[in-house]
Structure 1
Amino acid sequence: MPVNSKAMGRRIKAARKKASMTQARLAEEIGMSEVHISNMESGTGNPSLATLVDIANVLSVSTDELLCDSVICCKPVYEKEILETTADCDDYEIRILSYILKAAKMALRENGDLRRLP
């Protein structure tokens, strides 16, 4: 399965913003140009493995988190995202999100495996 460059770029950008870091600062931290960071975040450029590890280390995320849209087995990453998404929810919001999640799960299972669609 090829690496989904656009999805990886979105994840790099999200992790960078979560770390309150500019493209210029990330570029400086890993010894790359700001243009290179911009290209990676837009999905038009791919980092080398070493650069991806550097980015993950600087942003305090795992490479799994950056690649999880291209890796089939990354359940822990998605579970972590669900926990982070709901961390600031009150009881009512949790109850509604739980209902929505259960309904989505049931719909997915009733409609078959959507990963095989073009």
Structure 2
Amino acid sequence: MDYVGIGKRIRAQRYKLDLSQEELAEMAGISLVHMSHIETANTKLSLPVLVDLACALGVRTDDLIFDKDTLGKDELLEEITLELDGCSKEQLLTLRQILSSSKEAIQKYLER
């Protein structure tokens, strides 16, 4: 398991939510020292702690374990589907148009 990568993804999500290490540690029920060691990969975190951190950060455990840049096509499609879940019909229609336009622009760019 890539503990360095997990620590970096936890830190990035924590920054995104504007949380201090202390705040996240409290939310996850761990000590500040343990939180620091997790982010710097100086310790291996247990599955229960990983789950608690994911819940506190509002993400899935997979989001902390796996680097999204290395996901395969099926995993990327699943990620996109999860992002679209809960959208209204109007939002989906708009996103479909944006996706279609973006795909066309990318194709033209790659053909240069």
What TM-score results when the alignment is normalised by the length of structure 2? 0.62
Asked whether the 8 Å contact 1:52–1:63 carries over to 2, the reply is yes
Following superposition, the deviation at residue 47 of structure 1 comes to: 1.4
Letter in 1 for 2:20: T
Structure 2 vs 1, CA of residues 102 and 55 (structure 1 numbering), >3 Å: closer, same or farther? farther
Aligned to 1:65: 63
Question: What is the correspondence of 1:69-84 to structure 2 with a 5 Å cutoff?
Answer: 69=67, 75-76=75-76
Q: Distance in 2 between matches of 1:78 and 1:20?
A: 27
Following superposition, the deviation at residue 75 of structure 1 comes to: 2.8
Q: Write the deviation string for residues 32-77 of structure 1: whole angstroms up to 9, x where unpaired.
A: 11111111111111211011000000100110110014x9768339
Percentage of pairs with the same residue: 34
Q: Which structure is higher in helix share? A: 2
Structure 2 vs 1, CA of residues 37 and 51 (structure 1 numbering), >3 Å: closer, same or farther? same
Following superposition, the deviation at residue 78 of structure 1 comes to: 9.7
Q: Write the deviation string for residues 62-97 of structure 1: whole angstroms up to 9, x where unpaired.
A: 10110014x9768339966xx9xxxxxxxxxx79xx
Note if 1:55 corresponds to 2:85.
no
Number of corresponding residues: 86
Letter in 1 for 2:19: M
Radius of gyration: which is bigger?
2
Asked whether the 8 Å contact 1:64–1:77 carries over to 2, the reply is no
Kindly report the root-mean-square deviation, in angstroms, between the aligned alpha carbons of the 2 structures. 3.2
Structure 2 vs 1, CA of residues 24 and 78 (structure 1 numbering), >3 Å: closer, same or farther? farther
Note if 1:8 corresponds to 2:44.
no
Question: What is the correspondence of 1:1-118 to structure 2 with a 5 Å cutoff?
Answer: 3-69=1-67, 75-76=75-76, 98=106
Structure 2 vs 1, CA of residues 78 and 12 (structure 1 numbering), >3 Å: closer, same or farther? farther
Asked whether the 8 Å contact 1:9–1:42 carries over to 2, the reply is yes
Q: Distance in 2 between matches of 1:22 and 1:30?
A: 12
Asked whether the 8 Å contact 1:6–1:43 carries over to 2, the reply is yes
